Each structure stands twice: as structure tokens, then as C-alpha cells.
Amino acid sequence: MANQAAIVVGGGVIGMATACALAGRGVDVTVLERYTLGHEWASSHGLSRAIRHAYGSRAIYTRMVTRSLALWDDLARETGRHLYTETGVLSLGKAEDGETLSGYEVMRDENVLVERLPSEEVRARFPQFVVTDEDVIVYTPQGGMLHASECLLALRDRLSAHGGVLREGVQVTRVEPTGAQGEQGRVTVSDGSTLTADRVIVTAGPWVHDVLPDLRLPVRATRQQIIYFDGLPAEQFGVGVFPVFLAGIGEGGFYGFPLQGPGWLKVASHVIGPTSDPNEPYPPDEREIEAVQAFMRRRLPSAADAPLAFADRCRYDMTPDEDFILDDHPAGRGVVIGSGFSGHGFKFGVLIGELLAALALDKPPAFPLDRFRLRRFQEASDAAGG
């Protein structure tokens, strides 16, 4: 594939990983990023993102997590950067939530190290949590947190080692297939100039409609928030004693991480926020901060009075079924789309990069892509009589 040229639009974790995968296969790659790598409004920013095997009955994601852990490990060794801290992952659910028990069974079938813990054992091992005898509690010693900003720097290192280029401060206004059968891609930039390449890969996160306005992908940008708390003791909430956790699965859910960065505990609600224009800033949502604090009073009472350090905000790019979009543009193979990461894409970053590169280069992907194709939305609409 030497001498092929590709342009990647958007330098978040997905775009950078895709560019690395293409450059590693000898493609001449340029990433066009509107702002800077890891800027604060991109989804791929900040101290951490969770990586966990628990995915309910969706076994493909559990398998993809196992592969992703190995790929992040390769990247860490190659770049000498610390990308991942294994904290273990504790899931607190209910028998009827439709996720926790099926997730446990899938993980067991997929040979992931996993235990179901009785509540008395959780009280002894993780006394920070209030648990009841009705809770279904699952623990995986593997999984934990990816250091998000550091992961982006590692991808930048890899890209440059393979001769790829990251151009920051370049705003793309349009992407479309071009050529006789749409077999190439054309990019229009905000100064009016155009660029063409054998393949253009769109990985613009919540801004996908800015560059593919005619396609009307079923993706909406939602406002999300992460709350950091200060002043908690490392003996109770530090790495080694406090795991990444998921709680209230099936009821929206909360999740959290041990102390990180300046010594902050991170807790957030996974409730899907309101749809909003990704180009408009928004203030912290006080009601959501209160919901997180109420959750902490119920489940983590010894942390509930910790002072608020910071409310970080960014967006999910949600699809209706929360599955990703990894597909060719319907009008031609010159444009490939990676979108709709629905609040759970970071952990798969390097792997998705491999999958999008395989699509772009017409190579067999490492995982089947049927679940991620655009035609599913048409099929769902047909089935609904729409």
C-alpha cells in the first residue's frame, strides 16, 4: 500500500489511532485537527478513561476489550509512556438489570478473570462501598484506567515515528467522496482550499455533522460531565485499595475511579445528557453534581463530604443503539467514517484505528464489522415501518 495517501479529519483518540495504523502500513498520512491534540472540548481528553470487560451480553465488546488491552500495552512499551493503571473493576448491579449477570457469564465464557463476590466479602475487601444483599457484585482484577492525555501523546509519538503528520489548527468544512465512482476523498478547508487523497477518514467526534452535513447520520452530541473531589485519603481511595467501579447499571448508572492527577476522586453519571450543538460551551450542571453527591451518600458515604475540585465537561456522540459507526461513506469508498462512539469508545482506541485502517485499505478486519455498519439504521427503520 506504499504511495497511497490518506487524510484523517479529527485528531482525537480514534483519528490518531487510525492515522498510526495507516502510517504503519506505509500510507502517507496527514491528520487535520481543528484545535490542538487533546484539547479540552474533545471527547478524548483529561486524566482517565475506564477500560472494563463487562459489556452485558454484547460479547464482541468483551473480546474487543481483551484485544485493546494488549494493543495499549504494545503502545506503552513502544513509546515508553505510562498509559494504563490496572485497578480492577467492581460492578454493583441487580439480578434484573439485564447487564450484570449476563456480563458475568460472557466474561466467564471468554476466559476473562472474573469473580462474583458475596456482599460480606465486598464489605471486607472494599469497605468504602455500601452494598446490600440484593446487589449482584462482579469483580474483574484486570481493567482499570487509561491515562487519556498520555495515550494521545503516545499516539502522536507513534505517528511521527512512522512518518505521519499532525496538522493542528486546520478546520475542515466538508468531506465528500470524489472521482468517477467516489473512490477517492475530497476535503474542503475553512480557507476554501481543497485537498484530495486516496482515502479520507472522518473521525470528527461530536462534530461529525460539521463535515458530513448532507449525510444526516443518526448521531447526536450530548452534554456530559465528570466530577472530581479533593481531600480524600489515599489509604482509602488510592490506587491499590479502591477500584474503578460501575454502579446502578440498568438505571443510568454511576462510575468512578481511584485518586488520580492532583489526588482527585472522579465520579460521574453515565445518564445520557441533553442533545446540544457541540460548538456551544455550557456551564456545569448543578443538578447533576447533586445527583452524583446523592449517589455518594448512598454508596460511598465516607467520600460524600469531600470538597468539589472540578466539574469537567465533554460530549458523547450517541447513536440510537449505542453501537459505533465504522463504515464506508454510502456515496463512495473514498471516504470512511468512524463515528458514534456513544460514550464508550476510548478504551478501544488503538483497535478501532486498526479496524478503520483495514476498511480504508480494503483488508480483512480483525473483528467482524456487521454490527457497526450504517445499513443497520435503515433495517431498523424498515422493521419499524418507517
Binding site for ligand FAD (CB under 6 A): 9-15, 32-35, 42-44, 49-50, 171-172, 203-207, 210-211, 224, 226, 314-316, 341, 343-347
Q: Distance between alpha carbon 58 and the CA centroid of its chain, in Å?
A: 16
Nearer to ligand FAD among residue 16 and residue 114 (C-beta): 16
First to last CA, the chain: 42
**Nearest approach, Cβ of residue 115 and ligand FAD (Å):** 22
Q: Which is nearer to ligand FAD, 26 or 320 (CB)?
A: 320
Q: How far is residue 55 from each of residues 48, 63, 84, 137, 322, measured CA to CA in Å?
A: 19, 10, 20, 14, 12
CA–CA distance, 349 with 332 (Å, rounded to integer): 25
Nearest Cα neighbor of 205 from 226, 190, 220, 192 is 220
Q: Closest CB to ligand FAD among 83 and 172?
A: 172
Q: Given the complex with ligand FAD, which of 26 and 291 has the nearer CB atom?
A: 291
Phi and psi, residue 326, nearest 5°: -130, 100
Q: 373-379 long-range contacts, Cβ below 8 Å, gap at least 24?
A: 373/326, 373/327, 374/217, 374/325, 374/327, 374/330, 374/337, 376/321, 376/323, 377/218, 377/320
Rounded to an integer, what distance in angstroms lies between the CA atom of residue 7 and that of residue 278?
Answer: 23
Residue 4 is which amino acid?
Q
Query: CA of 218: how far to CAs of 103, 129, 135, 374, in Å?
Result: 27, 38, 35, 9
Smallest gap, in angstroms, from Cβ of residue 34 to ligand FAD?
A: 3
Residue closer to ligand FAD (CB basis): 114 or 151:
151
Integer CA distances (angstroms), 126 to 51, 94, 108, 122, 239, in order = 20, 18, 22, 5, 12
Q: How far is the CB of 203 from ligand FAD (least distance, A)?
A: 5
- Name the minimum Å distance from CB 382 to ligand FAD: 28
Comparison of 26 and 174: residue with beta carbon closer to ligand FAD: 174
> Do 23 and 159 meet the contact criterion of CB atoms below 8 Å apart?
yes
Q: How far is the CB of 80 from ligand FAD (least distance, A)?
A: 23
The smaller minimum CB distance to ligand FAD, of residues 203 and 319, is found at 203
Please state the closest distance from residue 338 (CB atom) to ligand FAD, in A.
7
As given in the structure block, the three cell numbers for residue 234 are 489515599
Please report how close the Cβ of residue 61 comes to ligand FAD at its closest, in angstroms: 10
- The distance of closest approach from Cβ of residue 230 to ligand FAD in the complex, given in angstroms and rounded to an integer, is 19
Comparing CB distances to ligand FAD, the nearer of 39 and 119 is 39
Which residue of the chain is nearest ligand FAD when measured via CB? Answer: 12
